[in-house]
Structure 1
């Protein structure tokens, strides 16, 4: 069992398709605040002072704070957010409607013309073996890790956890 927190809200993400190729920063105070919460959680449960994060700044900055406070910090590329290919970093309004419809028609298999399909993300998240009890990652990855059942459709895909919120994982 492990706990994974979604990273703090990234700077400059509003209205944009943000995935694994767009490495946005976070407000250092928010990263520090989340690191404090994770440190308190570890202390309360008597967990080892270890954390694993995605390599993207919005998650890794939390790991950097924890490392300063004596945690063992590891970076795992398998925790990175889904790669939205050519779309990554674009404003949602800049993506042609026909392209968006291509994704909706092949929700699990569409790879964003060179990125990662939801099917690939689901497999990557399901295969991940937690090296410790604490992690910091991304909303899409966390949602994929918790997905159970048949192939998701746009109407069934749940909203990601809120920024800086913990989720229990298996």
Structure 2
């Protein structure tokens, strides 16, 4: 079994771009983490985590007796020059090309979704081939990328196809047709903002 776990609520104002920004988590961390813990089985010893504090902190809480293997390739999308800026403050002429093709267009000083997908899936494949059960504590974009990979969902459709709340837990299990996923824990929270508020919805937006 493989368990994909997203970090808890980050301590940042809604609407701020924070791909690889190393932000902490809110005061609700422990309460959220306890609920995540309830969804996980006992006996998980293999643990991998993004090195960013919002993931590493959760991995250490959930698996205090385990060695946490920090994997830079499990970090969120690198947002480069946009890190820490409000989405609405990014000039339209700069952000529009990315919004129209976020899969292939590279963020200035950062990466594209397809570049992130490549590093994430290589890392995931290596982890999946190792000892099980295994937990991966990471980010929404990374989990979405992994689920796209195992279900062969086009990346442009991944935001609509997979709902990944803060603290969600996904269980991946091998079957005759490959890895199947099942949601063990999902929290209905306020809608996140990861694009300009005035952007008109289009495929994958």
Quote how far apart the aligned CAs of 1:64 are: 2.5
**What is the aligned residue count?**
163
Unaligned runs of 5+ in 1: none
Are the equivalent residues in 1 in contact too, given 2:7–2:54 (CA < 8 A)? yes
Instruction: Give matches, 1:10-159, under 5 Å.
Output: 10-20=10-20, 22-27=21-26, 29-31=28-30, 33-34=32-33, 37-38=36-37, 41-43=40-42, 47-66=43-62, 69-128=64-123, 129-130=126-127, 131=130, 133-147=134-148, 148-149=151-152, 151-153=154-156, 156-158=157-159
1:164 aligns with 2:175: no
The 3 A distance-change label for structure 1 pair 150 and 50 is closer
Q: TM-score, normalised by structure 1?
A: 0.83
Are the equivalent residues in 2 in contact too, given 1:108–1:151 (CA < 8 A)? no
Q: How far apart are the structure 2 equivalents of 1:30 and 1:110? A: 34
1:3 aligns with 2:3: yes
After superposition, the CA RMSD in angstroms is 2.3
Q: TM-score, normalised by structure 2?
A: 0.70
Q: How far apart are the structure 1 equivalents of 2:35 and 2:69? A: 18
Q: How far apart are the structure 1 equivalents of 2:164 and 2:106? A: 23
The 3 A distance-change label for structure 1 pair 6 and 150 is closer
144-153 or 1-10, larger mean C-alpha shift: 144-153
Provide Cα deviations, 1:123-162, integer angstroms capped at 9, x if missing partner.
Answer: 1122122255111100011111111447533xx2315500
Quote how far apart the aligned CAs of 1:36 are: 6.6
Are the equivalent residues in 2 in contact too, given 1:39–1:66 (CA < 8 A)? no
Unaligned runs of 5+ in 2: 173-178, 180-205
Q: How far apart are the structure 2 equivalents of 1:89 and 1:98? A: 19
